[in-house]
Amino acid sequence: MTRTQQFHDHHFTELAFQARHLSPLRRLYRQMLAGCLADEFSFRASPGLHANMTWQYATSPAALAEFEHCLSESDLGESLSIVDGDSRLLAACFVIVDGDTPIQDFHVDYGQSEIPAGVTGTMLTPLIAFDPPFGHLDCREGLREFEYRYRIGEAILFDGKFEHRPQLAGSIEGGARVLVSWSIATEDERYRFAIQRVIDSQMPT
């Protein structure tokens, strides 16, 4: 089964890539934390799924271009053809968990009825290695529940209708769990407005 077939039949697939392609994003993340970004780079924080989670969205063209460059220069770029055959990057962020992760309900990223399966995708990969207390991803496909384990050099790409949740997990004092997240969607005009409305609801104003 190809990755495209797996994505459309099971609503998720996995991609491997050379971790060195994350180096520019790691540098950008360190600069963001240190408050020393160049003028053309900007991020804004948005509340995540719980009190200890923050989404740091790339809000300038230059910042978003760094996430796009990671796709174009690595095997992660295949994600754009897996989702609906011809898709684009709508948004990207660093997902930062600083503290414990409480139990969460399963959810989907694009639950709206006007957005069908197969036209949106979220791709996640760890920016830095996970320490043992950090949780991974609980997934549900129909009646089957399973765990996806984050690893450097591997990413999960899942459909907007794929049920998932961050695992209940502990934390390390002074250490944060950091994921890179790419939001991908079809170019089909029939769904563009509804998809953009979801993205706008998550991004800071």
Residues 6+ apart with CB under 8 A from 137: 124, 147, 148, 149, 150, 156, 164, 165, 166, 167
| Tokens, residue 167 | 């695992």
pLDDT band at 205 (very low <50, low <70, confident <90, very high): low
Q: Within 13 A of 135's CA, how many CA atoms are on the CB side?
A: 21
Tell if the pTM clears 0.75, that is, is over it.
Answer: yes
| 22-75 pLDDT per residue, tens | 999 999 999 999 999 999 999 999 999 999 999 999 999 999 999 999 999 999
| 143-184 pLDDT per residue, tens | 999 999 999 999 999 999 999 999 999 988 888 999 999 999
| Tokens, residue 183 | 């939001």
Mean pLDDT of the region 80-105: 94
| 103-132 pLDDT per residue, tens | 999 999 999 999 999 999 999 999 998 878
